Structure 1
Amino acid sequence: MEKHFLNPPELPNWEQSFSQIVTVSSGSSKTIYLSGQVAMDQHNRLIGECDLFSQATQAFQNLAKALVSVGATTQDVVKLTIYVKDYQLADANRVSEAFRNAFPHKNLPASTWLGVQSLALDGLLIEIDAIAVMEV
């Protein structure tokens, strides 16, 4: 079994706190663990202040960038966890639209949506982590 801990430059830089991606290769498969992706650009600037749809879109874009950096796509994602600050039922449409833009294919990953009181930084409204599996 081989493990790699990665912090691609296309993503926000949190390497003093955690790795953005951990891959575990065993035999002919690779499991990809993606840390929670938020609405920050590669320079750690918040995108879409006070706008859940814009933040969800950015978080899903960061998720896609993380996947591409290890040769994967959203089709390889098997599990998502979505955390929404102060979640209300009306938020579902905005998150769902951003989700379907990022995952347009038929076979969707298993997912859990959670409403949370707060996230790691002020201004963040959503965080999305994922697990992907692919053949190598």
Structure 2
Amino acid sequence: MKIINPSTLTQTVTDLISQIVIIPASPLAFISGQVALNEKGELIGKGDYLLQARQVFANLKLALEAIDTEAKSIVQMRIYVVNHKPELIDSIFQAGFEVFGERWPKTASTFIGVQALAYEEWLIEVDAIASISN
């Protein structure tokens, strides 16, 4: 198993998790749930779903870049949203399109409303599985 914790993503939680795990001889990378922390571990967009979603997707994009792949390689994505309401969907996907543009990953995905994430300030978390075979 190969563990990757790119310097472009926060190192705040890497004593607890790995940002990316690759299984040798497997064409898949497993990207840990990305939250709205910048590379310094600072929360971006406290209380704001749109701002947090932008940072979350930016972090996902950085994770993909760290393994030399892009959004079109995502085979599955799960989007977790605290206190989900249907009116949040548009702004969350808007943030994704702002980050990825036309390269927004059209993939098997699940949008999951949750009561809470690991920390009270976190509103959105996205994890993904990406193909790394060329």
TM-score normalised by length of structure 1: 0.90
**What are structure 2's unaligned runs of at least 5 residues?**
none
Within the candidate set 76, 81, 91, 2:73 is matched to 76
The share of aligned pairs that are identical, in percent, is 34
Would you identify which runs of 4 or more consecutive aligned residues in structure 1 move more than 4 Å? Answer: none
Partners of 1:107 and 1:121 lie apart in 2 by 27
Partners of 1:120 and 1:88 lie apart in 2 by 20
Aligned length: 132
Equivalent position SS for 1:135: coil
Tell me which residue corresponds to 2:60.
63
1:98 maps to 2:95: yes
- 2:71/2:104 contact within 8 Å kept: no
**What is the 5 A alignment of 1:1-136?**
3-13=1-11, 14-26=13-25, 30-101=27-98, 102=100, 104-105=102-103, 108-136=106-134
Partners of 1:77 and 1:65 lie apart in 2 by 13
Please, what is the CA RMSD of the aligned residues?
A: 1.5
**What are structure 1's unaligned runs of at least 5 residues?**
none
Cα shift readout 1:3-39 (whole Å, capped 9, x = no counterpart): 211111110112210100001232xx62110000000
Which structure is higher in strand share? 1
